[in-house]
Amino acid sequence: MSVEPQDQAALERVRNWFTEEGWTPFAFQEEAWNAYRRGESGLVHSATGTGKTYAVWLGALLEVLASPSPTPGLKALWITPLRALATDTVQALQRAAEALEVPWRVESRTGDTPPAIKARQRETLPEALVTTPESLSLMLSTPESNALLSGLRLVVVDEWHELLSTKRGVLTELALARLRAWNPDLRVWGVSATLGNLEEAAETLIGKPGTLIRGNLEKEIHIDCLLPERIERFPWAGHLGKTLLPQVVEAIESSASCLLFTNTRSQAEIWFQAILEARPDWKGQVEIHHGSLDREVRDAVERGLKTGRLRAVVCTSSLDLGVDFTPVDRVLQIGSPKGVSRLLQRAGRSGHRPGMPSRITCVPTFALELIDVAAVRDAALAGRVDRRPRLERPLDVLAQHLVTVAAGGGFQEREMLSEVRTARAYRDLTDAEWRWTLNFVTRGGESLRAYPEFQRVALAGDRYLIKNLDVAKRHRLGIGTIVSDATMEVRFAGGQRLGSVEESFVARLRPGDRFVFSGRPLEFVRARGMIATVRPAKRLQGAIPRWMGGRIPLSTELAHAVRLKLEEASGGELLGPEMQKMAPLLRIQAAWSAIPAADELLIERVQTREGHHLFFYPLEGRLVHEGLAALFAYRLAQVRPLTFSLACNDYGLELLSAGPAPLDEALERGLFSTRNLEEHIRGSLNAAEMARRQFREIARVAGLLFEGYPSQRKGAKQLQASSGLFYDVFRQYDPDHLLLRQADREVLERQLEHSRLFEALERLQRARLILTEPRRPTPLAFPMLIDRLRDSVSTESFAARVEKMTVMLEKEADQTTG
């Protein structure tokens, strides 16, 4: 690039401003500015650290300084996945513009923007706008969108890794395709955490390969672990947690401000309660934060963190992202970190000042999780971060987008198809799929079964448009892909909102029942409509609500690292304090059975009073194990009819049967074969019921579900039906409906991690089998035994029974080592 004098002057100005602020431009920032000025699109990534915002933002400002644009109107769009980030982002962007004397106004436009400002923005937009994927889609649904948005030069998508494998990401891809069609010179930049598939991430954002710029030097991260005094040789999930409570309290005490991440909302409630029981004097200094709490409650907690007023917050992934909490100097991760990227993301929430290290301390709730901690540190040090797969042509999102565009001025079929295909997710969209989706929004389905009364998108001349204003209005209310669970609002009789819990939890409550929510003891008064009324109860006790979807499996990279850790152990090497701590457990495992190396598959055959157990240890994460367990049970039962009960965790799976299972014959016949895999999975699982549940999201995105007008609950009653009802009706009257097939596919991919399962089977085929026949359940088997038991007995007798079993096994183990 030849450097023009005005470019040089502009760059000087930026450097001067940086010097005034006491900063120096990082090399990657200048690299990004230059790439931008060359007209390139790309992705700026780094594990943690700051500087990414100005890396993508100042390129645009430099351009204006060098060659001011004569035309007014919107020049830059900044897309953030989190509404809460919008305000801070506007401030940061505006600050740079003012310092460099670029006469740009920066505003935000999200669901929180007041109607008066939105109305003004419909007429004239500022030069830069911070918005969300949904608000952008909403803008595209207005006829003025072309005029307002076609002057754009830059679109930045912040936290792109968060959007990448979601339907929100696909919605963003489609919106970007539209903006690019209006302005072929548009530059698109992403800001992302480090991922295992950065090229793919960039290509998905830009529609073609882009420039990758590696951000700030790696931030220093300390990963350590609270080690229990001693561990059980026969561990079970959840047991270890409480014994570490004093150490957790101590850790909180010794830090200025800390975040305690848990893996589920229920766990957050439990830990919050336990900490306050241990330290009642911390009331008001320790708070709880999770996605089911009311927005206002969460906002108050976030403010407390920002100002440093709070000593600690127990939270879930609800705080994985968001504004920086500068005072936080330590993060505790309760339970397995489950993934490398997840751990790094959470660690990065601490030490947010330049030069400060991030510190994360893992708190195992279960002895085997010590392996996860040792493994995650290895993987993080080696830079083996997780991939985030992109989504492949979800038709529900396409249908929604087509209606959006039809509302926003309409489209021509040919043009639209080629535009849609520039989005990575739809590059391989077939003509048949396109025609089907177009028919779906115009005729309600295949042309052969045209529905005469259907009114949505109509053809006028050669343009597809929405003629009916009501239809357009209803569509705008439904834009987006976020689906709320079937939840009920929890409220005090006085009207104060606390948050929401799952309907199924409320269904089990009787008036007078107690439960703990939002860290408060509550008494259930009544349920009416979608509102559960409660009043404060005196003592902190009672059930903890369980929310759906708390079962994150070990990520592929972490599972791999765990296998390597066990391989070291099988060779007698116990590296790291966590593995050392595991020594007694691993010794018994090796003595009674074996510790599998990374290229081995351990199978244990054990007989107990309960029956014949088969334990497999593929170490592939819970979801894959669920799929494998069902598949193995199905294939074993094909050799000889048998009924199995199944149990799984992140490390292995268990098949229990009354008689011995024909393992050898099944192995000969290809127990691990990938042939007929899909068919066998469908045969082995209640796939239809799973698809029916998955259909809720699809029905919502494709515009089948209408949740009513805000503040006007009535009026649309006749248009309300449950997604289950739609599912049943489609199955019966239109079984080839492509949205049904999409539901099947999403069940396979998301709930069973089909591609991972496929890869796991290929690995198992190559693995060396180690079949052992221990006399008793081994330390690796024990937790699965317990999990199965947990489902069938009440809590009191459960603990007692586990205790008894542990004592028995410990005695035996003492004889082994003794």
Partner 1 sequence: MHLGKAATFQAAGVPVPLIEAEGSLARLDTLLARLSVWRLIVLGDLWHAPAGMTERTLSAFCDWHAAHAELTIELVLGNHDRKLSESLHRRTGLQPLACLPEAPFYFCHEPEENAEGLYALGGHLHPGVRLVGPGRQSLAAPCFWFRETSGVLPAFGSFTGLGLIRPQRGDRIYLPIRPPL
Sole binder of partner 1 in the list 19, 496, 722, 797 (CB under 8 A): 722
Q: Considering only CA atoms, which of 486, 438, 772, 792 is closest in space to residue 610?
A: 792
**The residue type at 12:** E
Q: Give the total of residues touching partner 1 (CB under 8 A).
A: 38
Sole binder of partner 1 in the list 718, 794, 795, 815 (CB under 8 A): 718
Per-residue x/- marks for partner 1, 615-654, CB under 8 A? ------------------------------xx--------
Contacts (CB under 8 A) with partner 1, residues 736-765: 737
Sole binder of partner 1 in the list 28, 366, 726, 782 (CB under 8 A): 726
Cα–Cα dist 91/591, whole Å:
62
Half-sphere exposure of 515 (CA within 13 A, CB side): 21
Q: Interface with partner 1 by CB under 8 A: which range of 66-74, 176-184, 302-310, 468-476?
A: 468-476
Q: Which residues contact 698 (CB under 8 A, 6 or more apart)?
A: 396, 723, 739, 742, 743, 746
**Minimum CB separation from partner 1 for residue 96, in Å?**
45
Cα–Cα dist 168/247, whole Å:
40
Q: Does the protein bind partner 1 through residue 679 (CB under 8 A)? A: no
Q: Does the protein bind partner 1 through residue 454 (CB under 8 A)? A: yes
Cα–Cα dist 260/314, whole Å:
5
Q: Interface with partner 1 by CB under 8 A: which range of 298-306, 449-457, 665-673, 774-782?
A: 449-457
Contacts (CB under 8 A) with partner 1, residues 82-141: none
Q: Does the protein bind partner 1 through residue 793 (CB under 8 A)? A: no
**Minimum CB separation from partner 1 for residue 11, in Å?**
53
Q: What is the DSSP letter of 217?
A: P
**Minimum CB separation from partner 1 for residue 474, in Å?**
7
Per-residue x/- marks for partner 1, 382-421, CB under 8 A? ----------------------------------------
- For the four alpha carbons of 96, 97, 101 and 106, in that order, the dihedral sign comes to negative
Q: Interface with partner 1 by CB under 8 A: which range of 40-48, 186-194, 294-302, 448-456?
A: 448-456
Residue burial 580-603, b: 16+ Cβ < 10 Å; e: rest: ebbebbbbbbeebbbbbbbebbbb
SS3 at position 711: coil
CA–centroid distance for 815 within its chain: 46
User: Which of residues 11 and 472 has its CB atom nearest to partner 1 in the complex?
Assistant: 472
Contacts (CB under 8 A) with partner 1, residues 469-488: 470-471, 474-475
Sole binder of partner 1 in the list 456, 560, 612, 756 (CB under 8 A): 456
Sole binder of partner 1 in the list 199, 733, 799, 807 (CB under 8 A): 733
Sole binder of partner 1 in the list 445, 553, 627, 652 (CB under 8 A): 445
Q: Does the protein bind partner 1 through residue 721 (CB under 8 A)? A: yes
Sole binder of partner 1 in the list 160, 524, 730, 782 (CB under 8 A): 730
Q: Does the protein bind partner 1 through residue 455 (CB under 8 A)? A: yes
Q: Which residues contact 453 (CB under 8 A, 6 or more apart)?
A: none
User: Which of residues 200 and 446 has its CB atom nearest to partner 1 in the complex?
Assistant: 446
Sole binder of partner 1 in the list 103, 184, 452, 818 (CB under 8 A): 452
User: Which of residues 257 and 649 has its CB atom nearest to partner 1 in the complex?
Assistant: 649
Q: Interface with partner 1 by CB under 8 A: which range of 62-70, 454-462, 531-539, 561-569?
A: 454-462
User: Which of residues 73 and 724 has its CB atom nearest to partner 1 in the complex?
Assistant: 724
Cα–Cα dist 559/572, whole Å:
20
Per the listing, tokens 């244990």 go with 604
**Minimum CB separation from partner 1 for residue 668, in Å?**
28
DSSP letter string, 746-799: HIIIIIS-HHHHHHHHHHHHHSEEEEE--SS--TTTHHHHHHHHHHHS-HHHHH
Cα–Cα dist 128/108, whole Å:
8
Sole binder of partner 1 in the list 190, 703, 774, 779 (CB under 8 A): 703
Per-residue x/- marks for partner 1, 143-182, CB under 8 A? ----------------------------------------
User: Which of residues 408 and 445 has its CB atom nearest to partner 1 in the complex?
Assistant: 445
SS3 at position 531: strand
Are 163 and 191 contacting, i.e. CB atoms less than 8 angstroms apart?
no
The residues facing 170 across adjacent strands are: none
SS (H, E, C) 715-761: CCHHHCCCHHHHHHHHHHHCCCCHHHHHHHHHHHHHHCCHHHHHHHH
Cα–Cα dist 666/663, whole Å:
5
Report the relative pairing of strands 463-465 and 411-412 from DSSP bridges. Answer: antiparallel
Residue burial 63-82, b: 16+ Cβ < 10 Å; e: rest: bbbbeeeeeeebbbbbbbbb
Sole binder of partner 1 in the list 449, 535, 551, 768 (CB under 8 A): 449
Q: Which residues contact 636 (CB under 8 A, 6 or more apart)?
A: 642, 644, 655, 661, 662, 663, 666, 671
Q: Which residues bind partner 1 (CB under 8 A)?
A: 440-441, 444-445, 449, 451-456, 468, 470-471, 474-475, 507, 645-646, 686, 689, 702-704, 706, 718-719, 721-722, 724-726, 729-730, 732-734, 737
